[in-house]
Structure 1
Amino acid sequence: MSKTAAELMAELAKNKEYQAMKKAQNERLTDLEKLYADDERELVKELNQAGFAVASVWDFVNSKNDYMGAVPILIKHLKNKHHPKILAGLARSLAVAEFSSNDELWSVLVELYNKAPSDSEIDIPEERGAQEAIAVALESLALSSRTESLKKLIEKNQSGDGIHWLRDKLKELS
């Protein structure tokens, strides 16, 4: 006999084991939110002072707003030590074709991709995704003038996260 959603929810509300698990999960999420906010506090402060009203670097991802003026701050923070989720947000915020003429950005992202561990090397799920985010940014910024750099990156990172996008981009540019 099947249960209605309301019956299941009532049953779970009475289940002490489920409630304890749910409480622990909520506490973990709260701790992560605090960790991320603490990590990007200085970055957000600098962006706000520069006139960009954001609460997180992730506010730029897929944004329709013009934030070209934030690029120097974002590059500066790519060079700083950040939690992998904040690094991923930085990289994804810079995955914009309009930024492709910025050679410093390209160089910093190539260096970061080479240094970033792939998800298969990371035990903590919340620390995964940075290398793939960097690949997304590199794919967006790749130009025909960067073909050799892209080839070297692919050769060095045959099984890196997001490498398939970079291979596809190389084929497109060649």
Structure 2
Amino acid sequence: MGRVSQAQAQENRRRVVETASRLFREQGTQVSVADLMKAAGLTHGGFYKQFASKEALIDEATAHAFGELARLREDMLEQHAGERATAQQAFTDTYLSVEHRDSSAEGCAAAALAGDMAREPGDPEARRVYTEGVGAFAEWLAAEDQDGIARLCTMLGALILARATKGSPLSEEILTSARAALTATS
């Protein structure tokens, strides 16, 4: 089999990063390289032509996931004509929805990867990328009279607990209560 073009190699890399970003949010960073490459439709051997290590991919996939989250926040701001408070409330409502709870693969990287990052002491770059992403998220959530970190903790905690209790009435109650608490403080 011949070599792939530089353009095809870049496309393959993009596909692996996007697939890893989804799989890591859905299943955690313990997903094997073989399973990840299979999901991307590529061979296992091709992984090491693209990435120095699985840790390097975790770093890049985490950055990609936080990039998606940042684009969503900016889209909300644009949809609400730059009205930050309105955009923040719309974002909160979307974030604390049953749909978001049920779509971890496309959902928030901060919530989905929190446990993995707590267990990744050997990958300081992933932790740095994660920390920067969480910091930017909290900064965006801050309001004139409200701490963005407190809002973020409420949202992340509610989403994580709602996912952990999915299938029970408590799950939706958690989402509803967190939305109400954040609306009352807006």
One fold, TM greater than 0.5? no
Work out which of the two has the higher radius of gyration on C-alpha atoms and give 1 or 2. 1
Give the alignment's TM-score, normalised by structure 1: 0.32
